[in-house]
Amino acid sequence: MTCYSESVKYVRIGIELAAYGQCGGRPGRPGYAARATLAALLAIVGAAPALATEYPLATPDVLVVGEDQSVQTVYEDTLYDLARKFSLGSEEVIRVNPGVDPWLPGAGAQVIIPGRHILPPGPHEGIIINLPEHRLYYYPKPLRGQPAQVITYPVSIGKMDWHTPIGLTHVIAKEKNPVWYPPESVRKEHAAAGDPLPARVPSGPDNPLGLFAMRLAAGNGTYMIHGTNNPIAVGMPVTHGCIRLYPEDVAQLFPMIPVGMPVRIINQPVKVAWVDGELLLEAHPPVDAEGQSFEPDVDQFAELLRAAVGDSTVAIHWDYAREVLQKADGVLATVGLEADLSALNTDGTAEH
């Protein structure tokens, strides 16, 4: 398994830009002009990026962090640079702004920034990566006298037949300025497409691993958490199995993670949380075993919601809940209220 992005194509004003994240970029090679054009574009898209969002966890029962907001665009904005500015993947922002042109939103457009997150289930320790959410959560050990905290980053995950593994693993090695050695299968694939790859790619702007990489025990060390030379695709299923972060995010995360740090990779498209008697629901497009997103099956999602609620006594607005599950845009919604047992009918439904 290795880590590079497939060609991701975007069309703006009739001009097709091939957003390559694989190696290359030498004059005379196929795709060089497109990559050169993209490099100039990314210089604009990547302007003044924000670091990942850090949230204090004053008590262990804090389950929701961040906030949603709305921003008004200026002429120079794109949804891609807004996503990076607010530490979101590009698809997170595009999904909740369906009527906005991602490349040309124009001045004065109101753009929703979905920054509110339900923390993933399980222990709050080490690194947790939720594949459908395209998001990494890191729980550093609390300093003496200081509250616990969580730091969260958008990520890209695996696609095609390059599976991102599920389950518990750990960091086995860290590399600054990593060298990329494309495996033979990837080199054959690119040669067949008329874009041959070298056997060794040194650190630099053509290296898809970016400047920092953390190797995982999964897959005998073939999977990594790393940076990228194609930040515009962060948040998309475009890697060959690895977990990829914005360059500034991996630069922040890298020095904080020791070798041996546990990493738990989960596939949790539906998350719920109780906050002040309200049942909050967060749904994301499910991903298959190959990391590809697909349309949710609302009935299956409803069963996930029932399982997440468990034995709690709750009055769920099922019509609205199913609408939220169908939309699966990652925006939190209140779909139920803590129920008073005395107000329930014998079949468990709420009285009206």
What does the pLDDT look like over 52-102, one tens digit per residue?
689 999 888 899 999 999 999 999 999 999 999 999 999 999 999 999 999
The length of the chain in residues reads 352
pTM to 2 decimal places: 0.80
Q: pLDDT digit string (tens) for 222-232?
A: 889 999 988 98
97 against 145, higher pLDDT: 97
Three-state SS for 151?
strand
Q: Which residue has the tokens 């804090």?
A: 62
Q: Which of 3, 134, 242, 284 is catalytic?
A: 242
Report how far residue 189's alpha carbon sits from residue 3's, in angstroms, rounded to the nearest whole number: 14
145 against 351, higher pLDDT: 145
Three-state SS for 254?
helix
Residues 302, 324: contact at Cβ < 8 Å?
no
Is the pLDDT at 28 greater than 50? The verdict is no
Burial of residue 343 (CB within 10 Å: 0-12, 13-18, 19+) is exposed
Q: Which two tokens stand for residue 32?
A: 């060089």
226 an active-site residue? yes
Burial of residue 146 (CB within 10 Å: 0-12, 13-18, 19+) is exposed
Average pLDDT estimate for 252-259: 97
Domains assigned to the chain = 53-66+116-266 (2.40.440.10), 270-343 (no CATH)
How high is the pLDDT of residue 342? 47
Query: Which amino acid belongs to residue 336?
Result: G
Report how far residue 285's alpha carbon sits from residue 73's, in angstroms, rounded to the nearest whole number: 27
Q: Which two tokens stand for residue 105?
A: 């939103």
Cβ partners under 8 Å of residue 54, min gap 6: 149, 150, 151
* N-to-C CA span, the chain: 56
Picking from 289, 280, 308, 287, the residue whose alpha carbon sits closest to that of residue 62 is 280
Is the pLDDT at 206 greater than 90? The verdict is no
163 an active-site residue? no
Burial of residue 118 (CB within 10 Å: 0-12, 13-18, 19+) is buried
Q: Which of 163, 226, 240, 284 is catalytic?
A: 226
